[in-house]
A and B are shown apart, each in its own frame.
Chain A
Amino acid sequence: DTAVSQTPKYLVTQMGNDKSIKCEQNLGHDTMYWYKQDSKKFLKIMFSYNNKELIINETVPNRFSPKSPDKAHLNLHINSLELGDSAVYFCASSQARQGEQYFGPGTRLTVT
């Protein structure tokens, strides 16, 4: 009965590879987010979708592409991974754009 779930929890890969992180929420929310938390714990929004429509797109390299197949899912695909992409990626969801945000457990991505 997890509210916001992410897979995988850990992802270790080599530079240049392409990888995806999946997120699902069972809260019935209509807005979902991707955040990046760097090694210094700094948390920054990357993308947000509302009813499958992209509403926030921060200055993120276009190697990062979010995809929302439906309101309950928001996946993050990353092409040509770089060392600097190593971080913990959090998915979150809220009911409407102004609602309280619920975070997933995070995916720790390590690029070697």
Chain B
Amino acid sequence: QQQVKQSPQSLIVQKGGISIINCAYENTAFDYFPWYQQFPGKGPALLIAIRPDVSEKKEGRFTISFNKSAKQFSLHIMDSQPGDSATYFCAARDSSYKLIFGSGTRLLVRP
């Protein structure tokens, strides 16, 4: 119940394309869903986050879509750029404020 399942494990997209990463969860007590971006040799950095009372949040080229009934959320990266190549993690926060991370998606954007 504390798991967050993330897919795909890796993703290759052409420059200018849309990158889509999906996550699913079981615990309905999760109340906050952030996405983190991690470059090689660096720590994860918060990219965008959403709360379950909102179905979509957009910040620049990054959009989270949230489907509460399906217990799924996804990250869309529009107009993907080579600089977006990184590992992306979804996460969910439980009632003890603990972040449960997905297994990560390695994104490669080809020029």
Q: State whether the Cβ of A39 lies closer than 8 Å to any Cβ in chain B.
A: no
Q: Could you tell me if A106 and B96 are in contact, using CB atoms closer than 8 angstroms?
A: no
Q: Could you tell me if B98 and A56 are in contact, using CB atoms closer than 8 angstroms?
A: yes
The minimal Cβ–Cβ distance linking A50 to chain B, given in whole angstroms, is 9
Q: Could you tell me if A104 and B43 are in contact, using CB atoms closer than 8 angstroms?
A: yes
Q: Of B45, B97, B103, which is within 8 A of A40 by CB? A: B103
Residues of B within 8 A of A105 (CB): 41-43
Residues of B within 8 A of A41 (CB): 87, 103-104, 106
Residues of A within 8 A of B34 (CB): 100
Q: State whether the Cβ of A43 lies closer than 8 Å to any Cβ in chain B.
A: yes
Closest to B91 in A: A43
Q: State whether the Cβ of B54 lies closer than 8 Å to any Cβ in chain A.
A: no
* Assembly CA distance A97 to B94 (angstroms): 11
With A41-B87, A42-B104, A98-B32 already in contact, the answer to whether A103 and B97 are too (CB < 8 A) is no
Q: Could you tell me if B103 and A103 are in contact, using CB atoms closer than 8 angstroms?
A: no
Q: Of B43, B89, B98, which is within 8 A of A4 by CB? A: B43
Q: State whether the Cβ of B18 lies closer than 8 Å to any Cβ in chain A.
A: no
* Assembly CA distance A99 to B103 (angstroms): 22
Interface residues of A in 38-91 (CB under 8 A from B): 40-45, 48, 55-56, 90
Q: Of B42, B87, B97, B103, which is within 8 A of A98 by CB? A: B97
Q: Which 10 pairs across A and B sit closest by C-beta, in order of nearness? A: A103-B43, A97-B97, A43-B101, A41-B104, A103-B44, A105-B43, A90-B43, A104-B43, A106-B43, A98-B97
